[in-house]
Amino acid sequence: MSLTPIGGLADESRRKTTTASLREKKFHHDPITCLTAYDYATARIEDEAGVDVVLVGDSLAQAMLGYENTLSVTMEEMLHHVKAVRRGVKNALLVADMPYGSYQIDASGAVANAARFVKEGGAEMVKLEGGEKRADLIRRIIDAEIPVAGHIGLTPQSVNVMGGYKVQGKSLGAIEQLMRDAVALDGAGVSCLFLEGIPREVAAMITAEISAPTVGIGAGPECDGQVLVFHDLVSLTFGAPAKFVRHYADARELMAKAVQGYCADVKSHQYPSDAESYHLSREAKAALDSVLDRKLAIRR
């Protein structure tokens, strides 16, 4: 696939991220960068900026589709966006999030859905939520030649069980369970493990304990990599941000100003200008004028 870069030259020497290069990064303490993307343009911008891993997260539900939580987003909706992101990604590793209901019901259905992300969407890895109880399923998906990312801690698909979006792993028992989850998923062969919404100290212990690279969100700086939801990064959100979110731009304000400016220009007849309009050639204009003159003469 050859892509013309959007802004400046793409770094052709950049290596493609693979499951092996993620492990190399852990080994060399070279932080892994990961961002979500849900569309072609954002995916290209992230890929050309050198992001290592692009995740089509099920946060698609809130960020792009306006759902209240991640539970409603479907396989078909996820696939539609994975395909768009695939067209924008060249060097980054493309991870597709398995939506709620696509892997919790039965194992063969889960493997079939994971395969759809690879075959139809062009994903190179799938991600699913849950700890040690998912280890056997993860083995089956890996057996089908599909790399898997685990996701433990604050797992948004369990919002109703957790009773809200709460930081996990705060008591000794919960910490022990998180460690058991991480070790079980590492043993099952995950290529990386997303740690969401857990104390920094617990994420650091897990990162030191397991061989798979950890990618944290609200899990402190000791993880092997970091992930943020793109819409949080650029302030394209409507609610109060979580503690760990850092805004690198205010896209919402920028976009609102652009839309307001356009509306004002249309209403005041400032847009479009003559320079922004197409024109007839001199000959075509003369021919049109003579037809109009003849019509006027007939009417008179």
Q: Of the two residues 103 and 194, which places its CB atom closer to ligand KIV in the complex?
A: 194
Strand ranges in 174-229 using DSSP code E only, listed in sequence order: 192-196, 214-217, 225-228
194 touches ligand KIV (CB under 6 A): yes
Catalytic residue among 46, 48, 124, 196: 196
268's enclosing H/E stretch is none
Alpha carbon 146 to chain centroid distance?
Answer: 19
Closer residue to ligand KIV (CB): 117 or 194:
194
Which one, 10 or 51, has the nearer CB to ligand KIV?
51
Total of chain residues touching ligand KIV, rule CB under 6 A:
10
Q: Least distance (Å) from ligand KIV to the CB of residue 60?
A: 7
Please report the sign of the dihedral spanned by the C-alpha atoms of residue 79, residue 84, residue 87, residue 88: negative
Residue nearest to ligand KIV (CB): 57
- Give yes or no: 283 in active site: no
> Is residue 191 part of the contact set for ligand KIV (CB under 6 A)?
no
C-beta of 285: minimal distance to ligand KIV in Å?
55
Q: List the end-to-end C-alpha distance of the chain, in Å, as a whole number.
A: 64
How far is Cα 69 from Cα 161, in angstroms, rounded to an integer?
14
Query: Which one, 205 or 229, has the nearer CB to ligand KIV?
Result: 229
In the complex, least distance from residue 184 CB atom to ligand KIV, rounded to whole angstroms: 19
Residue 58 as a binder of ligand KIV (CB under 6 A): the answer is yes
32 and 52 Cβ atoms separated by less than 8 Å: yes
> In this structure, what are the phi and psi dihedrals at residue 128, rounded to the nearest 5 degrees?
-140, 155
∠ CA 23-97-145, rounded to 5° = 55
Give me the active site residues, please: 196
Q: Give residues in contact with ligand KIV (CB under 6 A).
A: 36, 57-59, 97, 194, 196, 217, 227, 229
